[in-house]
Structure 1
Amino acid sequence: MLQSNQEEAAGAKVASQVFSPVAAVRSHRWTYCGVDRCAPGPCLRCSGWPSSAGFLLDFVSYPVIKGFTSAAAVTIGFNQIKALLGLQNIPRQFVLQVYYTFCKIGETRAADAILGLFCLIFLVGLQQMKKSIPRSHRMESFSVRISHLIVWTAATARNALVVLFAGLVAYSFQVMGSQPFTLTGATPQGLPPFQPPPFSKVTPNGTVSFQKMVQAMGDGLVVVPLMGLLETVAIAKAFASQNNYQIDSNQELLAMGFTNILGSFVSSYPVTGSFGRTALNAQTGVCTPAGGLITGAVVLLSVAYLTSLFYYIPEAALAAVIICAVAPMFDAKIFCTLWQVKRLDLLPLSVTFLLCFWEVQYGIIAGVLVSGVLLLYPIARPRIKVLNHGALVIQPASGLNFPAIEFLRETVYKQALSGPQLHSVILDCTHVSDIDYTVVLGLSELFQEFQHKRLSFIFTGLQAHVRQVLLAANLEGFCSFPSLNDAEKILKEEPCSPREVFFDDGSENILPTSGIIQ
Structure 2
Amino acid sequence: MAPRTRCCSLTTLRRWLPILAWMPNYSLQWLKMDCIAGLSVTLMVIPQALAYAEVAGLPPQFGLYSAFMGCFVYLFLGTSRDVTLGPTAIMSLLVASYTFREPAYAVLLAFLSGCIQLAMRFLGLGFLLDFISCPVIKGFTSAAAVTIGFGQVKNLLGLQHAPRQLFLQVYHVFRDIGNTRVGDAVLGLVCMLLLLLLKLLQDHLPPGHHEMPLAARLSHGLLWTVTTARNALVVSFAALAAYSFDVTGYQPFVLTGKIVEGLPSLRTPPFSLTTANRTASFTDMVQDMGAGLAAVPLMGLLESIAVAKSFASQNNYRIDANQELLSIGLTNVLGSFVSSFPVTGSFGRTAVNAQSGVCTPAGGLVTGVLVLLALAYLTSLFYYIPKAALAAVIITAVAPLFDTKIVRALWRVKRLDLLPLCVTFLFCLWEVQYGILAGTLVSVLLLLHAVARPQMQVSERPVLVLQPASGLHFPAIEALREALVTQALQASPPRCAILDCSHVCSVDYTVVLGLGELLGDFRRQGVTLAFVGLQGPVLRVLLSADLKGVQHFPTLEEAEKHLSQEPGTQPYNPSAGSVPGHRVALLKA
- TM range, normalised to the smaller chain? 0.7 to 0.9
Give the superposition deviation at 1:356. Answer: 2.0
Q: What displacement does 1:243 show?
A: 9.2
Partners of 2:235 and 2:160 lie apart in 1 by 21
CA 96–298 in structure 1, closer or farther in 2 if over 3 Å, else same: farther
1:230–1:364 CA contact under 8 A, matched in 2: no
- Residue in structure 2 matched with residue 330 of structure 1 by the alignment: 402
RMSD: 3.1
Unaligned runs of 5+ in 1: 24-30, 497-518
CA shift in 2, pair 1:131/1:350, >3 Å = same
TM-score computed with the length of structure 1 as normaliser: 0.83
Maintained 8 Å contact 1:64/1:364: yes
Does structure 1 residue 68 correspond to structure 2 residue 140? yes
Structure-2 residue corresponding to 1:6: 83
Worse-superposed segment, 286-295 or 57-66: 286-295
Secondary structure class of the residue paired with 1:394: strand
CA apart distance, 1:369: 2.1
- Count of matched residue pairs: 480
Distance across 2 between alignment mates of 1:130 and 1:387: 59
Q: Tell me the TM-score normalised to structure 2 length.
A: 0.74
3-state secondary structure, aligned to 1:493: coil
2:384 match: secondary structure: coil
Q: How far, CA to CA, are the matches of 2:496 and 2:525 in structure 1?
A: 11
CA distance in 1, matches of 2:448, 2:429: 27
Instruction: Show the 5 A alignment for 1:262-281.
Output: 262-269=334-341, 271-273=342-344, 278-279=347-348
Q: 1:223 offset after TM fit, Å?
A: 3.7
Structure 1 counterpart of 2:238, from 166, 187, 191: 166
**Could you give the per-residue CA deviations for residues 346-366 of structure 1, whole angstroms, max 9, x where no partner exists?**
122222222221223322222
Contact residue 461 and residue 483 of structure 1 kept, 8 A: yes
Q: 1:19 aligns with which of 80, 90, 99?
A: 99
Aligned pair 1:213/2:282, yes or no?
yes
Q: Could you tell me whether the CA contact under 8 Å between 2:519 and 2:548 is conserved in 1?
A: yes
Q: Which residue of 2 aligns with 1:193?
A: 265
Inter-CA distance 130–145: structure 2 relative to 1 (3 Å threshold): same
How far apart are residue 376 of structure 1 and its match? 2.2
Alignment match, 1:507: none
Where do residues 295-310 of structure 1 align in structure 2 (5 Å cutoff)? 295-310=367-382
Equivalent residue letter for 2:168: L
**In structure 1, how many angstroms separate the alpha carbons of the residues matched to 2:188 and 2:336?**
37
Q: Could you say which residue in structure 1 is the equivalent of 2:535?
A: 463
Match of 1:353, SS state, is: helix
Structure 1 residue 203 displacement after superposition: 7.5
Matches within 5 A, 1:67-86: 67-86=139-158
Q: Does 1:313 align with 2:390?
A: no
Secondary structure class of the residue paired with 2:369? helix
Q: Secondary structure at the match of 1:356?
A: helix
Secondary structure, aligned partner of 2:564: helix
C-alpha deviation, 1:224, in angstroms: 1.6
Q: Which segment is superposed worse, 284-293 or 99-108?
A: 284-293
- Partner of residue 509, structure 1: none
5+ long unaligned stretches in structure 2: 1-73, 569-589
Cα separation, partners in 2 of 1:83 and 1:416, compared to 1, 3 Å? same
The 1-side partners of 2:218 and 2:413 are apart by 48
In 1, the alpha carbon distance for the partners of 2:171 and 2:277 equals 39
Give the equivalent residue in structure 2 for 1:416: 488
Flag the 1:292–1:59 CA change in 2: closer, same or farther, 3 A.
farther
- 1:123 corresponds to 2:192: no
Give the 3-state SS of the residue equivalent to 1:357 in structure 2: helix
User: 1:257/1:122 Cα in 2 relative to 1: closer, same or farther (>3 Å)?
Assistant: same
Q: How far 1:462 sits from its partner (Å)?
A: 1.2
Query: Is 1:357 matched up with 2:429?
Result: yes
CA contact (8 A) 1:33 1:213 kept: no
Answer yes or no: is 1:229 the counterpart of 2:298. Answer: yes
- The answer to whether the aligner puts 1:440 opposite 2:512 as a matched pair is yes
The residue that corresponds to 1:27 in the other structure is: none
Aligned AA (2:283):
V
C-alpha offsets along residues 272-330 of structure 1, whole Å, 9 cap, x if unaligned? Answer: 437xx643654685776556544443333233322221110011111111222222222
CA drift of 1:453 comes to 3.3
Q: Structure 1 residue 114: deviation in Å?
A: 1.0
C-alpha contact (below 8 Å) 1:232/1:272 kept by paired residues: no
Flag the 1:322–1:468 CA change in 2: closer, same or farther, 3 A: same
Counterpart among 464, 487, 501 of residue 429 in structure 1: 501
d(CA) in 2 for partners of 1:207, 1:418? 71
Superposition deviation, residue 422 in structure 1: 2.4
Distance in structure 1 (CA, Å) of the matches to 2:273 and 2:142: 41
1:242 shift after superposition? 8.6
Alignment of 1:232-251 (within 5 A): 232-234=301-303, 236-237=305-306, 241=310, 245=314, 248-251=320-323
**1:229–1:272 contact (8 Å) kept in structure 2:** no
**Within the alignment, does 1:399 sit opposite 2:479 as a pair?**
no
Within 1, Cα distance between the matches of 2:426 and 2:278? 44
Q: Given the superposition, is the C-alpha separation of residues 228 and 197 from structure 1 closer, same or farther in structure 2, using an over 3 Å criterion? A: closer
Residue 440 of structure 2 corresponds to residue 368 of structure 1: yes
Closer, same or farther: CA 220–475 of 1 in aligned 2, 3 Å: farther
Partner of 2:10: none
Contact 2:201 2:227 in 1 (8 A): yes
Matched, 1:111 2:183: yes
Deviates most, 107-116 or 46-55: 46-55
